[in-house]
Structure 1
Amino acid sequence: MPFQSLGLSEPLLKAIEAQQYTKPYPIQEQAIPAIRAGKDVLGIAKTGSGKTASFVLPILEWFQDKGTPQNRSIRVLVLAPTRELAIQIGSVFQAFGEKLPRKVKTMAVYGGVSINPQMIGLQNVEVLVATPGRLLDLLSRRALSISETEILVLDEADKMLNMGFADEMKDILFLLPRKKQSILFSATLGDAVESIHQSLLNNPVKISIEEPEQDLELIKQSAYRVSSERKGPLLRYLIKTEEMQQVLVFASSKRTADNLVEKLKKNGIDAAALHSEKSQGARTETLNKFKTGRLRVLVATDLVSRGIDIQYLPYVINFDLPRSPQDYVHRIGRTGRAGATGEAISLICPEDEHHFKIIQKKMKKRVDILESDDLELKGY
């Protein structure tokens, strides 16, 4: 099905073509017509399924017949759980809307940066992409109004609830008008999301996109058995001796990530950490450097890793194993994309071995564990 069959206008089709979109994803095929028809939508789809464009495109189309904005009332509100996702959604609105006849001012607001520039920038904003906490801060300062909002989008609703935003979301929903179009996207439909769906959506179009099995065949997986005190030296040994470039390392905590980066730098390896205690400016700059190959090693926690989407990423290293087999597959799936091969390496301490066996059983793939005792790690 081509984008032309979804009833989008010629200027928007040209914008889609300029962004090198060739055909719609399954969720776009179903969501775009429903949103254009003014219906509430419940979409269950994983990250990376194309859902952002599935609401951005019909919303931009909706604006083409609307007049100019009045005061500081937000016409479209998009709630997102993290700064990275808010920035990403805002950039998609701007990319598709750049050359449309009717310009739509879009802004992303989030915590971790000064609120004053955001307050000043809200003049004439029609689409606001916001994290819940920062939106409530702005509302408390009367910097904007959502009492006349016409379209509400909740993106990754399950993650917002898992991150403890339930009370904030409840406060925001209370301030919104009863009559509006509501669009809710979530990776899963748990009890909490089901509760919001029941109270918020009116006779919604329900869309569920099954996630294809992660193709692990293009990913060369290996693991090293290592004591906890030799893990850091082994990591540095592998990066140096294998001459690895553009390596994504997963750590279990912010403290571990920072410690790893400090030791990597001391050993002449260009590295940076990405986690929630870094300022937004630092996170954006670090991610851009890594994506463009100007940073050799990025050490990340799972919480912020969803903003890392690189088509050709050669190496993923699990310094610490994730809690669930699904998270393990999600991590190593950052490599081996678009037909390219990739390598995933896990460092396994004795206390990790049972958990690693469970991970292998769940993904139905055996991973050889290599011994590291004979490796000379002195000086690494």
Structure 2
Amino acid sequence: MNFADLGLGPALLSAIERAKYESPYPIQVEAIPAILQGKDMLGLAPTGSGKTAAYILPILQQLLQKEAPRDRSVPVLVLVPTRELAVQVAEVAENFGRFLPRRIKSLAIFGGVSINPQMMKLGGTEILIATPGRLIDLMGRNSVSISRIQTLVIDEADKMLQMGFKEEMDHLFEYIPRKKQTLLFSATMEGEVEELIKKLLQNPVRVQVAADDFTPDSITQSAYRVSPEAKGPFLRQVIQSGDWKQILVFASSIRTADNIVGKLIKNGIDAVAFHGDKSQGARTEALARFKSGKTRVLVATDLAARGIDIQALPLVINYELPRSPKDYIHRIGRTGRAGMQGQAISLITPEEQHHFKVIQKKMGKWVTLVNAEDFGKPLEPKT
């Protein structure tokens, strides 16, 4: 299956080729034709499954067939839970949009930064990617109208509800027309997500990529048994052992992330922390420097890392394990994307070994646990 089989027109196919996307992910194969037909859709898919392009590509094709708005009303609204995801979705839209015969303007708006520059950029926007609170602020200033929305996308609906956005979302739904196409994406259908699905979707096409089964074959996983006091030195040994240009390290707390960065810098390794205690400006700058290769190591917490999307990221390191298997899959899914090879390394203390077994069982894939002292040595063949 290739993109030409999905109903996309020549302009989009050319944009896909120039953006160097080779073949569609399973979710794109199922979602793109349904969205082009104007159907509502429920996408049950984890981050890293290709869901952003699954809805951005058909939306761009739909917009190409219409004239750009001349006022402050927007035809497409994408609601997201975090600032980082908003930026990621906008980057995907821009990545394809720059190759189209006419410019389709997309804009990410979110809190934590000055509202005035966002107000000034809103004119002519066709794809508005927004966190709920900032969108409500801009609507209150009459800077944008969502009363003529033709397509509503809710991305990571479960995270949106977990982060307490239900009241803001209900407020926004009062201003959105009843007749529209709605695309809802979520990793789960638990609790309030199911209520949201019943409320918003009309006879939706259901597309599912099971999060528990989503472990790309392009990711090589390895794990090393290490004592708590040796974790820091071993992390530095791993980083210095290869010529990886970008390394994403996961920590479970803000304090640990900051401590890791301090030790790495002290040992001559360029690193920066990425977590919720950083200002939006600091987080944006840190991510930009990491994506461009100016900073080699980014140390992130799980919540802040949602939305990090780097197509050629070669290595992810779990300095500490996450609490849930789903978060583990989300973490390692930052590498091995778009058909490229990736590597994931986990540092496992004796206290974490049982939890690591639980993660592997849930994932359905077993990773050989090797002593840290044997790092870099070839594995003994199994007899």
Match of 1:77 in 2: 77
1:107–1:218 distance in 2 versus 1, CA, 3 Å: closer
CA contact (8 A) 2:32 2:55 kept: yes
1:339–1:141 distance in 2 versus 1, CA, 3 Å: closer
CA contact (8 A) 1:360 1:366 kept: yes
Mean alpha-carbon deviation: is it higher for 243-252 or for 166-175? 243-252
Q: For residue 77 of structure 1, report the CA deviation from its aligned partner.
A: 0.7
The amino acid of 2:222's aligned partner reads Q
1:367–1:136 distance in 2 versus 1, CA, 3 Å: same
1:335–1:7 distance in 2 versus 1, CA, 3 Å: closer
Match of 1:207 in 2: 207
SS at match of 2:185: strand
CA contact (8 A) 1:63 1:102 kept: no
Match of 1:194 in 2: 194
Identity of aligned residues (%): 55
Q: For residue 272 of structure 1, report the CA deviation from its aligned partner.
A: 0.4
The amino acid of 2:295's aligned partner reads L
Q: For residue 238 of structure 1, report the CA deviation from its aligned partner.
A: 4.6
Match of 2:287 in 1: 287
Q: Within 5 A, what are the aligned runs for 1:1-380?
A: 1-210=1-210, 213-214=214-215, 219-227=220-228, 229-240=229-240, 242=241, 245=244, 246-310=246-310, 313-335=313-335, 338=339, 340=341, 342=343, 344-348=345-349, 350-363=350-363, 364-365=365-366, 367-368=368-369, 370=371
SS at match of 2:316: strand
1:164–1:69 distance in 2 versus 1, CA, 3 Å: same
The amino acid of 1:222's aligned partner reads A
Mark the structure with the bigger radius of gyration: 1
Mean alpha-carbon deviation: is it higher for 231-240 or for 181-190? 231-240
CA contact (8 A) 2:218 2:340 kept: no
Mean alpha-carbon deviation: is it higher for 145-154 or for 47-56? 47-56
SS at match of 1:183: strand
CA contact (8 A) 1:336 1:343 kept: no
SS at match of 2:174: helix
Q: For residue 318 of structure 1, report the CA deviation from its aligned partner.
A: 2.2
CA contact (8 A) 1:274 1:299 kept: yes
1:13–1:265 distance in 2 versus 1, CA, 3 Å: same
CA contact (8 A) 1:154 1:185 kept: yes
CA contact (8 A) 1:360 1:367 kept: no
1:188–1:233 distance in 2 versus 1, CA, 3 Å: same
Mean alpha-carbon deviation: is it higher for 20-29 or for 305-314? 305-314
Quick one: distance in 1 between partners of 2:218 and 2:9?
41
CA contact (8 A) 2:48 2:333 kept: no
Quick one: distance in 1 between partners of 2:14 and 2:216?
33
Quick one: distance in 2 between partners of 1:202 and 1:347?
46
SS at match of 1:81: coil
CA contact (8 A) 2:47 2:330 kept: no
CA contact (8 A) 2:313 2:335 kept: yes
Q: Which runs of 5+ in 2 are unaligned?
A: 374-383
Quick one: distance in 2 between partners of 1:194 and 1:61?
29
1:72-124 Cα deviation digits (max 9, x unpaired): 11221111112222112112222322243443222110122111100111122
Match of 1:377 in 2: none
Match of 2:376 in 1: none
1:17-60 Cα deviation digits (max 9, x unpaired): 22223343332233223222222221222222222222222222
CA contact (8 A) 2:218 2:341 kept: no
Quick one: distance in 2 between partners of 1:91 and 1:285?
15
Q: For residue 332 of structure 1, report the CA deviation from its aligned partner.
A: 3.7
Q: For residue 203 of structure 1, report the CA deviation from its aligned partner.
A: 1.8
CA contact (8 A) 1:216 1:333 kept: no
* Cα RMSD after superposing both structures: 2.7
1:178–1:352 distance in 2 versus 1, CA, 3 Å: same
Q: For residue 217 of structure 1, report the CA deviation from its aligned partner.
A: 8.8
1:313–1:182 distance in 2 versus 1, CA, 3 Å: closer
CA contact (8 A) 2:157 2:186 kept: yes
1:174-215 Cα deviation digits (max 9, x unpaired): 221222221111222223111111111122222223465525
Quick one: distance in 1 between partners of 2:105 and 2:218?
44
Match of 1:375 in 2: none
1:208-227 Cα deviation digits (max 9, x unpaired): 23465525796252323313
SS at match of 1:116: helix
Q: Which runs of 5+ in 1 are unaligned?
A: 373-380
Quick one: distance in 2 between partners of 1:68 and 1:356?
51
The amino acid of 1:85's aligned partner reads L
Quick one: distance in 2 between partners of 1:346 and 1:116?
44
Report how many aligned residue pairs link the two structures: 369
Quick one: distance in 2 between partners of 1:274 and 1:290?
10
Q: For residue 230 of structure 1, report the CA deviation from its aligned partner.
A: 4.7
Mean alpha-carbon deviation: is it higher for 318-327 or for 268-277? 318-327
1:371–1:56 distance in 2 versus 1, CA, 3 Å: closer
